[in-house]
A and B are shown apart, each in its own frame.
Chain A
Amino acid sequence: DIQMTQSPSSLSTSVGDRVTITCRASQSISNYLNWYQQKPGKAPKLLIYGASSLKSGVPSRFSGSGSGTDFTLTISSLQPEDSATYYCQQNYNTPLTFGGGTKVEIK
C-alpha cells in the first residue's frame, strides 16, 4: 500500500498569511495526487486534482504543486472560511489512500 504522510498535523496562523501543507508518498505516484478540504460535520470537498489542477469554483488562492513523492498545497492568503482540515489522497493505484490530515486554525 502507498502511505501518505502529511505535515504539519496542525497549524494556527493569521488571516492573510500564506499557508503551506506538504504531503509525501511512500513511493512515486507521478501526479496522481488530490487535495480535499473538510469542515466539521461535512463531507470532504475536492480542491485540487492531478496535483495542480484547480477544481472549478475553488478560489484561486488555493494551489497545488509537486510530482513523484513530494507535493504541496498552498493557500496564498488565508481567509476565515479556510479554517478546516485538509487531506491529500493518491489515486495512483489501489488501495486508494489518504494522508492523516492537517488542521488549519485561524489565530
Chain B
Amino acid sequence: QVQLQQSGPGLVKPSQTLSLTCAISGDSVSSNNVAWNWIRQSPSRGLEWLGRTYYRSKWYNDYAVFVKSRITINPDTSKNQFSLQLNSMTPEDTAVYYCARDPGAFDIWGQGTMVTVSS
C-alpha cells in the first residue's frame, strides 16, 4: 500500500530555512493522476494547505499566497520523494507539518513533523 515517510529537523532558528522530505513508497512522484502536497497544522491557524507539486507531461507547482514568496516544493524522481523548503522562518511558522497525496482528496498522509521555530 502507499506510504509516506517524512524526515527533517524538529527545531529551526528564526530567519533560517526549514527543509523537510517526504519519501514515497507504493506510488510514484511522477504519477500523472495525483498531486503531492504539504499541509501544516497549528492550534491558532488550524489546517493550512501550503502547496503542491504534480506531473502532467511536465512539472507544475501551486503555492498558497501567504507563503508564496518563501516556499519551494520540489520533486526528486531519482529518490521517489518530494521536499519542502520554507525560508525566513518565524515563530508563527511553528506547527505540525504533513505531506499528503491527493488524487482528488488527501487520502494518504505522512506521520507529521512537529517543527518549532525558536532560538
Interface residues of A (CB under 8 A from B): 1, 34, 36, 42-46, 49-50, 55, 87, 89, 91, 94-98, 100-101
Interface residues of B (CB under 8 A from A): 37, 46-49, 62, 64-65, 98, 100, 102, 104-107, 109-112
Known: A87-B47, A96-B37, A98-B48. 19 other contacts (CB 8 A): A34-B105, A34-B106, A43-B98, A43-B100, A43-B110, A44-B109, A46-B105, A46-B106, A46-B107, A49-B104, A49-B105, A50-B105, A91-B105, A94-B49, A94-B64, A96-B49, A97-B49, A98-B47, A98-B49
Q: Is the CB–CB distance between A95 and B47 below 8 Å? A: no
- Max chain A CB contacts within 10 Å: which of B49, B100, B102? B49
- Which B residue sits closest to A48, measured CB to CB? B105
Give bound CA distance, A36 to B100, whole Å.
13
Q: Is the CB–CB distance between A91 and B104 below 8 Å? A: yes
- Which A residue sits closest to B50, measured CB to CB? A95
Contacts of A98 in B (CB 8 A): 46-49
Give bound CA distance, A87 to B48, whole Å.
12
Contacts of B112 in A (CB 8 A): 42-43
- Which B residue sits closest to A97, measured CB to CB? B49
**A43-B98, A95-B49, A96-B49 in contact; A50/B104 too (CB < 8 A)?**
yes
Give bound CA distance, A49 to B98, whole Å.
19
Q: Is the CB–CB distance between B107 and A55 below 8 Å? A: yes
Contacts of A1 in B (CB 8 A): 65
Q: Is the CB–CB distance between B105 and A89 below 8 Å? A: yes
Q: Is the CB–CB distance between A44 and B104 below 8 Å? A: no
Contacts of B49 in A (CB 8 A): 94-98
- Which B residue sits closest to A101, measured CB to CB? B46
Contacts of B64 in A (CB 8 A): 94-95
